[in-house]
Structure 1
Amino acid sequence: MRRLIVSELLTLDGVMEDSTPWHRDYRSPESGQFKSGELFGSDTLLLGRVTYGGFADYWPTVTDTGAFGERMNSLPKYVVSGTLKEAHWNNSHIIRENIAGEVARLKAQEGQDILVYGSGELSRFLLAQGLVDQLNLLIYPVVLGQGKRLFGEGAGPNLTLTDSRTFSSGVVLLQYHPAR
């Protein structure tokens, strides 16, 4: 059975919205190495409609991203959307109905990890359904004060910390497994 990993970039106050490039000033070789390992340890991307749209507009157009960009463009991609008519990015498929069942079916297949980038609404749904095996939270030393948060109002899942690392840029990686 494959693992489903949710990977999020968060500010110190929990904002995940990417309306400004707040995270770009904190890139480091260590975080780049981590993100590369995360991607190459996966063989499927699962994305919400908004994240998919941003990625589909960006990744096919850039030429200087080397193996990382080639991997992003070649992997099978599943976008969860009830409104998207077509998925034009290479090797993309739309999940419109029975989301939990379809994700469980993907997890039951042989292969590497399934990786969710961003996709806040989808990530919250997957957590609530008990489908997430690991959360990779990269916490940036930035406070925005407002914006969409991974964990909104109300109780979130109970989590067990499994690893933590601090990168030279001040970014902290927190890896959790949902408490079962």
Structure 2
Amino acid sequence: MGKIVISQNITLDWVVEDPTGEEGFRHGGWFEKMSDADRQEWAKIEYDEAQRASALLLGRRSDTYFGTRWSAQTGEWAARLNALRKYVVSSTLLEPVWTNATVLKGDVLEEVANLKLEIDGEIVVYASRTLVHTLLEHDLVDEIRLTVFPIATGEGDRLFAPMSDKRTLRRLDVRAVGDNLTHLTYQVVH
């Protein structure tokens, strides 16, 4: 049985909006503020995660963002990401951008529940904040991995949207990444 893993870069105040500054959010671009040491260590974590993943689950905008960036890249990390099976949740998308992707057009809750039954291993969700909110609200998330950037924006879309009930998490791991980042791993207690 598969497990849904949310993997996010976030600010200290849990903002996930516009990390690269391309969306026009006035506090965007916080991802680009890391040092070279931070970037090297962050890349190791992300590469290891890609090696363990069985599939990726993305929203439409994340498929476009990652697909346009990774499809033309070379190297082991790019090869792994491009080879992974990808599932893109969208009611409007006709053709996914990223390679090896399937569009899930049905009921998102049913589609994700079926993926968890069909795929053994980790089904990793990158970015895709609307999808993440839906998965969290409907208790479909098994693990949350966060790389925390030492920046507080004071506003912006956050990882955790208002939910109908609280969620209990169990800390699995905390580690320093590079000079300034922190990586947190939590299990969602069902």
Q: Please give the secondary structure, in 2, of the residue aligned with 1:23.
A: helix
Aligned to 1:91: 100
TM-score between both structures, scaled by the size of structure 2: 0.86
Q: Please give the secondary structure, in 1, of the residue aligned with 2:14.
A: coil
Aligned to 2:43: 32
Partner residue of 2:31 out of 12, 23, 26: 23
Instruction: Please list the CA deviations of residues 38-86 of structure 1 after superposition, one character each: whole Å capped at 9, or x if unmatched.
Output: 11100211001111111111111334xx111111111111110111122
Partner residue of 2:71 out of 56, 60, 72: 60
Q: Which moved more, 1:115-124 or 1:20-29?
A: 20-29
What is the number of equivalent residue pairs in this alignment? 178
Aligned to 1:141: 150
Aligned-residue CA RMSD (Å): 1.7
Structure 2: gaps of 5 or more residues: 22-28
Partner residue of 2:176 out of 157, 160, 166: 166
Q: Per-residue deviation at 1:156?
A: 4.9
Structure 1: gaps of 5 or more residues: none
| Whole-Å separation in 2 of the counterparts to 1:148 and 1:71 | 30
Contact 2:64 2:97 in 1 (8 A): no
| Whole-Å separation in 2 of the counterparts to 1:89 and 1:175 | 27
Instruction: Please list the CA deviations of residues 88-120 of structure 1 after superposition, one character each: whole Å capped at 9, or x if unmatched.
Output: 422111111121111111111243311100111
Q: Which moved more, 1:10-19 or 1:25-34?
A: 25-34
| Whole-Å separation in 2 of the counterparts to 1:121 and 1:110 | 22
Contact 1:28 1:169 in 2 (8 A): no
TM-score between both structures, scaled by the size of structure 1: 0.90
